[in-house]
Amino acid sequence: ANVTRKSTYKLVVNKSETLPLFHGNFQRIEQALVNIILNACQAIPTPDLGITITTDCDRSNNTIQLSIQDEGTGISGEIIDRVTDPFFTTKRDTGGTGLGLSIVSGIMKEHGGKLGISSQPDKGTIIALQFPLKQERTPF
């Protein structure tokens, strides 16, 4: 919470009022969200730029969708396909390990979900998580 407060004055949460419950590992999903939000905070050069978190349910394809959109520096097309590779980082000089989005990718696979990343340099990035509603119970 402190990192978010220091990074942006504009944190918007658009929460769907009708999200169904689904089976998942709360701690792992929380870890994914923390990694994504931390990346979003690090991408925002000034606190007047924002982060928007949105949840929704798409009953047509039986998924819960969660997206985190930032108004930060964005990711260039040359590297966007590599951001989920283990140890790939553009922030090595400032302590980046390159594990954040790799971990998120693994968590989404564990949950039978999908990870989508879209970005425009100097416009921002959208990380979209899609969880299936009907998941088999797995031993976490």
Pair 81, 91: CB distance under 8 Å: no
3-class SS of residue 125 = strand
Pairing relation of β-strands 114-120 and 50-58? unpaired
State mean pLDDT over 102-119: 96
What CATH number does the domain located at 2-132 have? 3.30.565.10
pTM of the model: 0.88
- pLDDT, tens digit, 9 for 90 and up, residues 111-121: 999 999 999 99
| C-alpha closest to that of 55 among 68, 44, 43 | 68
- Going by pLDDT thresholds of 50, 70 and 90, the confidence category of residue 136 is low
- pLDDT, tens digit, 9 for 90 and up, residues 72-100: 999 998 889 988 888 777 776 666 777 88
* Least confident residue range of 9-18, 116-125, 131-140: 131-140
Q: For residue 49, give both structure tokens.
A: 């730029």
- Going by pLDDT thresholds of 50, 70 and 90, the confidence category of residue 129 is very high
Residue-by-residue DSSP string for 72-137: SS---TTTGGGTTSTT--S-GGGT--S-HHHHHHHHHHHTT-EEEEEEETTTEEEEEEEEESS---
First-to-final CA distance of the chain:
27
